[in-house]
Chains A and B, each alone.
Chain A
Amino acid sequence: MGYTLNFAAVWRSFDLLLDGLGLSLALAFGGVLIGCAIGIFVAFNLTVKSRMRRGPAQTYVTIIRNTPILVLILFVYFGLPQLGVSLSKTTSFVLTLAVYSGAYLAEVFRAGLAAVPPGLREAGLAIGLRESQIRMSVILPLMLRNALPSLGSTFISLFKDTSLAAAIAIPELTFEARKINVETFRVVETWIVTSLLYVATCSVLAALIRVAERRIAIPR
C-alpha cells in the first residue's frame, strides 16, 4: 500500500467543509419546508373519494417517486430555461427538492391521516365545527404527530440527497470535498472526513427527531 494518511490538508480547509455542511442543511430545510406544504395538500387529496382530485395526486406521487432525482435536478436547471423559466442554482435545487420530497411526504402524511380515528371528525361535527375547522384544528395536528417518525427519516434521506446539488455546482458539502480533493490530492482523508461529517449530522438529526417525538407524543 505505502500510503500514509495526512489529514493536515483537510484540517486546513475544514471551515470550507463546515460552510458546505451548513449550506447542505439549509437546502434540505428549505426543500422539506416547501415539500411539507405540497405533501399535506397532496395527502388530503389522496384521501378523498372524488376521482377528479385523487387521480392527479396519485399520478404526481407515482411519477416523482419513480424518477431519479438527478434527472429532475438537471431537468429543472438545464431544461426549464428553454421554456423561459430561468432559476438560479439554489432556487432551482430547492424547488426540485421540494417537488421530489413532496411526493414522499404525501405518502407519509397519507399514512398519518389514515391513523387519525374517524370518531374525532364526527366529534368535531357534533360540536358544530365546519369541515375546514375540523381539518385545521383537529385532524392536522394529530396527523403531524402521527407522521413525525417517518417525516424525520424522510428528512434525513433528503438531507443526504442534497449531495446531488454538487452536480449543478452548488457549493455544499460534497462539492467542497471535491474541490479540496482537486487542490490537495488528499482523496482518502477528504472522503473519510466528509462521510463522517454526513454520518454525524444524520445521527444528530435522528437524535433531535427522537427528542421531538417524545415531547409531542400523543399521551395514551
Chain B
Amino acid sequence: MDFAALFNDVYLARFAILKGLGVTIAISALSIVLGTLLGVGVGLVLTYGPKPARWLARGYTDFIRGTPVLVLVFASYYVLGVVGVDLPPFDAGVLALTVFCGSHVGEIVRGALQAIAAGQTEAAKAIGLTFSQTFAYVLWPQALRQMLPAWVNTAVEMVKASTLLSIIGVGELLLRVQELISRTFLSLEFYLFAGLLYFAVNFAIERLGRAIERRVALPT
C-alpha cells in the first residue's frame, strides 16, 4: 500500500472527487425525496385505497421489490431511450432509484399505519373526528415515529445504490474514483478511500436518524 502516493493523488484530484461526491449526494437526495413522496402515496393507497387501486399499488411494489436495482437502472436508461423518452444517464438513474425507493417506502408506510392499534381509530371515531382528522391528528404522527428507523435505513440504501449509476456513466463518486484508478493504478488505496467516503456519508445519516429518533420519542 502506497499511502503517500494516495494522498498526493487525492490532493491533485480533489476537485474531481468533491464534484463526484456532490453528484452522489445530489442523486441520493433527489431519489430519497422524490421516492419518499411517491412511497407515501403508494403506502396510503395500499392501506386505504379502493380495491383496484390497491391491486395496482401491490403489483408495483411487488414487481419493483423483486427486481435488482441494477436491472432497474439499466431498464430505465436503455428501455426508455428505445421507446422515445431519451433521458440523460443522470435523470434515468434518478428515476430508477426513485421508483425503487418509492416501493420500499410504500411498504414501510403501509406497515407503520397497520401497526397502529385499532383502538386508536375507534377512539377517534368515538370523539367524533372525521377520517381526515383521525388520519392527520391520530394516525399519521404515530406512523411517522414508527417508520423513522426503517426510513433511515432506506436512505442509507439509496446512497449505497447510487454507486450503480456509475455503470451507466453518471459521474458520481465511484466513477470519478475509477477514473483516478485508471490513471494511477492505485486500486487498493482508492477503493478503500471511496469506501471510507461512503461510510462517512452513511454513518452521518445513521447518526442523524438516531438523534431525530431520540428527539421525537414518546416519553415513557
A163 & B70 in contact (Cβ 8 Å cutoff): yes
Interface membership of B9, Cβ < 8 A: no
A119-149 interface (Cβ within 8 A of B)? none
The answer to whether the Cβ of B119 comes within 8 Å of any Cβ in the partner chain is no
Closest to A199 in B: B66
Among residues 67 to 87 in chain A, which have CB atoms less than 8 Å away from a CB atom of chain B? 67-72, 74-75, 78-80, 82-83
Given A70-B174, A82-B1: A166 touches B199 (CB 8 Å cut-off): no
Contact status B163-A68, CB under 8 Å: yes
Q: Is the CB of A71 within 8 A of B188?
A: no
Q: Which residue of B lies closest to A160 (CB)?
A: B68
- Is B17's CB within 8 Å of the partner chain A? no
State in angstroms the CA–CA spacing of A3 and B191 once bound together.
42
Contact bitstring B27-38, A, C-beta under 8 A = 1, else 0: 000000000000
Interface-lining segment among B40-48, B50-58, B75-83, B123-131: B75-83
> Which chain A residue lies CB-closest to B185?
A82
- CB nearest neighbor in A for B24: A68
Residues of B within 8 A of A167 (CB): 167
Which of B160, B162, B164, B187 is close to A78, meaning CB atoms less than 8 Å apart? B187
- The contact string, 1 if C-beta is below 8 Å from chain A, for chain B 168-198, is 0000001000100100000111011011001
A63 to B156, CA, bound (A): 12
Stretch from A7-15, A33-41, A190-198 at the B interface: A190-198
The answer on a CB contact under 8 Å between B188 and A80 is yes
User: Known contacts being A72-B195, A167-B167, is A191 close to B74, with CB within 8 Å?
Assistant: yes
Q: From A65, A71, A191, give the contact of B71 (CB < 8 A).
A: A191
Which residues of chain A are near B187, meaning CB under 8 Å? 74, 78-79, 82
Residues of B within 8 A of A (CB): 1, 62-63, 65-72, 74-75, 78-79, 81-84, 156, 159-164, 166-167, 174, 178, 181, 187-189, 191-192, 194-195, 198-199, 202-203, 206
26 A-B residue pairs with CB within 8 Å: A1-B83, A3-B82, A66-B156, A66-B199, A66-B206, A68-B159, A68-B174, A68-B195, A69-B160, A70-B164, A70-B166, A74-B191, A75-B188, A78-B181, A79-B192, A82-B1, A82-B187, A83-B188, A161-B68, A163-B68, A167-B167, A187-B79, A191-B79, A195-B72, A199-B62, A202-B66
